Chain A
């Protein structure tokens, strides 16, 4: 049996280097084709008719006009009379026409009568939430919180919250569905789940799983919202059948994308922290509510975030609020950013109350984080050095150096954790007699660098240059690899690829060893050659070696068997923000933002750092701008567009610095994954920095001028009201 390990630090030819993503040139030149870009022969355009009401019963649907509109090829009711609609934007009718304009015209000609029912869409204020919308709370107690609070030197109480935000994928959700014949469906879908979605289509359509071919070359964002086939996906396939199998392209419009294709729950909390005078935290109490629209979500086991392991006395209550808005979906590190915001804000406020530097308070309590305490300590020290914490930090409200009469500068920090690991992954690695190498895997590259990582692992293992490996992904005809979620892709795919490559190489060694007068076990592949270990003069070029295969290419199947030496799970990270707040206008600007992150063995330093940069941009957006604004009167989303659904641009994000923890203590943990963890801390770190700058907490995110000004007017705020 071969031994599967990662190469030692000195023996890595590509792994851990700073390598540009292989599909970069295709993407910037427009050669890369996204699902949105594809146009299939004879293709029709699909449109969905959506409910304008947040809560209503369908009374009647009249398709007669729409069906006769020019170009219309198929019309289908998704939810018929009698159905109860629970959110504005839900799908009622789907249709297809020859041009997009015709489809839109026909959609407008569908007449639907509704009986309106009362709706509820604003969950921010606990007291205003009707009893009927409060789902049964979960409650948990550990240790003796009553005693902890009684014996505490100080009890700090605070309220924190954040709004529902959306995934806002730049390529909206959607697909092209077509029937190649009566029984075989071809789907091009924008998805995080190339291998798993075929069977879902098959089941819904009553055809064998093997009859669905699903392909995707590139995707413009998923962030957790693009796992399911979605009802509109199944309906597009059914509609295609009605239209004689013609391809139907159904991509969501921007407003639908923001209304129904994914959102992240809001969370609001009232928190109590018990502590000693020296800042040691001894107890935690929280009452939390939030809404994932009509969907459910759980917040159990998260608070106090990161420090939970060591805070033994806890009392928690959590209520899900049902609202008439589209269901939540997993959003990059589900529930962690909210839990992080609540916890790190409360601890930061506690530090301010105790007149302590929060860095000291977090360090003081670092043992409470449990097994990763040393990682956090190292990361805190590293981040502090990068942002010059000791030089720059001033007590809350005093203003960091650089502050002026109206512009106050402040620093804030936050810690986070995430699991990661390696998901199930199979791949086939083929060495051809001409020396070329192919890797096939039913995975997907969410724009994060998966293709690049696969080439790096295979090429490093085979001792070849990167361009010697041709990577095929994004097709469910390839060996099955899981959907990309939980930051488990890089772990899973690099493990299966490493194993396939090692096995293939060993098989090749067996073939060539006789010709080299040695045994397979004595061979290594280095720098495009097969050579004898310790006797490099006994060598053969890669091409010569492969020629020994004769006419039959050599293919090996790699499998990630789950937890083993090549991957593990669990990471920690620290972020520190330096902001300026205009106390006359409440406008917050980012100065510097620092992230220190570990994720085990890094395959590609550049794409790993890019993940952190991207997460920080998303995090600045969450902290300063994002909110799914729901109108109480109409029950509709008021900002389903890129104008009022604000995303940070380059000019809004300030300077970023990223440091990845590597080397001893990190590399030997194997590959873990980094997509999610760095999105967790920004809200908390930036909120803490703002509090430090202006002397008072802005209780909820996003930190918009109205909220900042309102907070400034409170006691302790540096209000500069004219």
Chain B
């Protein structure tokens, strides 16, 4: 690990003042379950690490009776599961998939959203947009069995690893941010971006901003679910996942739908056409399968990951059926 300066601020103002103006100079430390591995492997080499665990307000949870929720960035995955209870199945389904118990007890909501890609070329030190010695792109020509099938036209071909992000997007959540200029909120589906260079990040946060937490709008009457296709039950990320939120009318027809896919693109993937297709329909297996097809209509598999298209379609189908109940 490269030597670094360690800071432990107790207010958000102090924290952002300690952060650098460009990515790479400084890193925020929450649970550390991802950051420490990145540092040990010299994938990130910050000069200063800013531990935010001393900032009390980041651990707050507010759940008013209207079915909305405000969750601080430092709330652990396990606390999230405990607090949300049965009201937010899309989120809790996804959170329960994050294994092991140790990770759920150390890992935080903010850290889950901001964890770095698991791409095996990136983690081996070939860069976020991995290139060989002569600048040749490694993912497109290499072993891309776990890489993106959607949104992979640019150089970014990794998949966003967060399981919580698609669920938050399906539920129209906002991400609360604090920086030198004060607080701001971004819709979860606008928060993630595909980086264009190795020094960009996968989200629209500024280097000297921190995530304060998430706010989920009222969910009363919303049926939601997340379905993950995972090969192993524990210590593994899904191969594809879908989070779905539905509101049904009295006749059980879909009034509104939102579908977001995970682990298929460099960002969580909002499937708008599929959601639109569902609107006005009664959910059955054929309708759900069709929505899966529509969600993946634009998929452009790489040389070795065409199978993920099927997995993602199935995830959408099953999430819809599960949400509809």
A-side contacts of B223, CB under 8 Å: none
Q: Do the beta carbons of B313 and A646 come within 8 Å of each other?
A: no
Bound CA span A639–B124, Å = 9
Interface residue from A104, A584, A625 paired with B231 (Cβ < 8 Å):
A625
0 or 1 for each of A630-671: is its CB under 8 Å from B? (1 = yes): 011110101101111010111110000000000000000000
Q: Do the beta carbons of B143 and A722 come within 8 Å of each other?
A: no
**Which of A108, A651, A710 has the most CB atoms of chain B within a 10 A radius of its CB?**
A651
Does A92 reach chain B (CB closer than 8 Å)? no
Min CB–CB distance A677 → chain B (angstroms): 27
Q: Do the beta carbons of B232 and A625 come within 8 Å of each other?
A: yes
Bound CA span A707–B197, Å = 34
Does B233 reach chain A (CB closer than 8 Å)? yes
Bound CA span A536–B203, Å = 85
Q: Do the beta carbons of B229 and A587 come within 8 Å of each other?
A: yes
Interface residue from A586, A638, A649, A710 paired with B232 (Cβ < 8 Å):
A649
Looking at chain B, what size class is its interface with the partner chain? 35 or more
Does A210 reach chain B (CB closer than 8 Å)? no
A-side contacts of B50, CB under 8 Å: none
Contact residues of A between 607 and 643, Cβ < 8 Å to B: 624-625, 629, 631-634, 636, 638-639, 641-643
Q: Do the beta carbons of A705 and B307 come within 8 Å of each other?
A: yes
Q: Do the beta carbons of B138 and A633 come within 8 Å of each other?
A: yes
Bound CA span A410–B121, Å = 37
A638 with B120, Cβ < 8 A, contacts A706-B307, A709-B307 known: yes
Interface residue from A108, A632, A643, A721 paired with B118 (Cβ < 8 Å):
A643
B-side contacts of A649, CB under 8 Å: 232-235
Q: Do the beta carbons of A642 and B124 come within 8 Å of each other?
A: no
Interface residue from A586, A624, A644 paired with B120 (Cβ < 8 Å):
A644
Contact residues of B between 132 and 168, Cβ < 8 Å to A: 132, 136, 138, 141-143, 145-146
Interface residue from B120, B141, B310 paired with A633 (Cβ < 8 Å):
B141
A705 with B229, Cβ < 8 A, contacts A629-B143, A722-B293 known: yes
Bound CA span A636–B233, Å = 28
Does A436 reach chain B (CB closer than 8 Å)? no
Does B289 reach chain A (CB closer than 8 Å)? yes
A-side contacts of B229, CB under 8 Å: 585, 587, 705
Interface residue from B121, B239, B317 paired with A705 (Cβ < 8 Å):
B239
Interface of B is mostly: loop
A651 with B233, Cβ < 8 A, contacts A631-B142, A643-B118 known: yes
A704 with B231, Cβ < 8 A, contacts A585-B311, A631-B142, A634-B138 known: yes
Bound CA span A643–B145, Å = 15
Does B314 reach chain A (CB closer than 8 Å)? yes
Min CB–CB distance B100 → chain A (angstroms): 9
Min CB–CB distance A115 → chain B (angstroms): 13
Q: Do the beta carbons of B307 and A586 come within 8 Å of each other?
A: yes
Does B236 reach chain A (CB closer than 8 Å)? yes
Interface residue from B121, B143, B232, B292 paired with A646 (Cβ < 8 Å):
B232
Min CB–CB distance B60 → chain A (angstroms): 32
Q: Do the beta carbons of A585 and B314 come within 8 Å of each other?
A: yes
Q: Do the beta carbons of B314 and A722 come within 8 Å of each other?
A: yes
Q: Do the beta carbons of B232 and A584 come within 8 Å of each other?
A: no
Does B17 reach chain A (CB closer than 8 Å)? no
A-side contacts of B123, CB under 8 Å: 641
Min CB–CB distance B301 → chain A (angstroms): 11
Q: Do the beta carbons of A634 and B132 come within 8 Å of each other?
A: yes
* Nearest chain B residue, comparing its CB with the CB of A722: B313
Contact residues of B between 1 and 57, Cβ < 8 Å to A: 1, 42
Does A143 reach chain B (CB closer than 8 Å)? no
B-side contacts of A646, CB under 8 Å: 231-232, 236
B-side contacts of A633, CB under 8 Å: 132, 136, 138, 141-142
Bound CA span A108–B42, Å = 11
A722 with B124, Cβ < 8 A, contacts A631-B142, A646-B236 known: no
B-side contacts of A586, CB under 8 Å: 307, 311
A-side contacts of B310, CB under 8 Å: 584-585, 709, 721-722
Q: Do the beta carbons of A587 and B120 come within 8 Å of each other?
A: no
A651 with B231, Cβ < 8 A, contacts A634-B138, A638-B124 known: no
B-side contacts of A648, CB under 8 Å: 232
Q: Do the beta carbons of A638 and B143 come within 8 Å of each other?
A: yes
**Which of A632, A634, A648, A721 has the most CB atoms of chain B within a 10 A radius of its CB?**
A634
Q: Do the beta carbons of B317 and A642 come within 8 Å of each other?
A: no
Contact residues of A between 677 and 722, Cβ < 8 Å to B: 704-706, 709-710, 721-722
* Nearest chain A residue, comparing its CB with the CB of B136: A633
A-side contacts of B138, CB under 8 Å: 631, 633-634
Does A550 reach chain B (CB closer than 8 Å)? no
Q: Do the beta carbons of A652 and B314 come within 8 Å of each other?
A: no
Q: Do the beta carbons of A632 and B142 come within 8 Å of each other?
A: yes
A652 with B232, Cβ < 8 A, contacts A633-B141, A710-B307 known: yes
Bound CA span A651–B124, Å = 29
Min CB–CB distance B281 → chain A (angstroms): 17
Bound CA span A648–B311, Å = 21
Does A101 reach chain B (CB closer than 8 Å)? yes
B-side contacts of A625, CB under 8 Å: 231-232
Bound CA span A706–B301, Å = 13
0 or 1 for each of B229-264: is its CB under 8 Å from A? (1 = yes): 111111110010000000000000000000000000
Contact residues of A between 564 and 595, Cβ < 8 Å to B: 584-587
What are 30 A-B interface contacts by the 8 Å CB criterion? A108-B42, A585-B229, A585-B310, A585-B311, A586-B311, A587-B230, A625-B231, A629-B120, A631-B143, A633-B141, A636-B124, A638-B143, A639-B120, A641-B123, A648-B232, A649-B234, A650-B234, A651-B234, A652-B232, A652-B233, A705-B239, A705-B307, A705-B311, A706-B304, A706-B307, A709-B307, A709-B310, A722-B289, A722-B293, A722-B313
Interface residues of A (CB under 8 A from B): 101, 104, 108, 584-587, 624-625, 629, 631-634, 636, 638-639, 641-644, 646, 648-652, 704-706, 709-710, 721-722
Closest 5 CB pairs of A and B: A651-B233, A706-B307, A722-B313, A649-B234, A638-B120
Interface residues of B (CB under 8 A from A): 1, 42, 118, 120-121, 123-124, 126, 132, 136, 138, 141-143, 145-146, 229-236, 239, 289, 292-293, 304-305, 307, 310-311, 313-314, 317
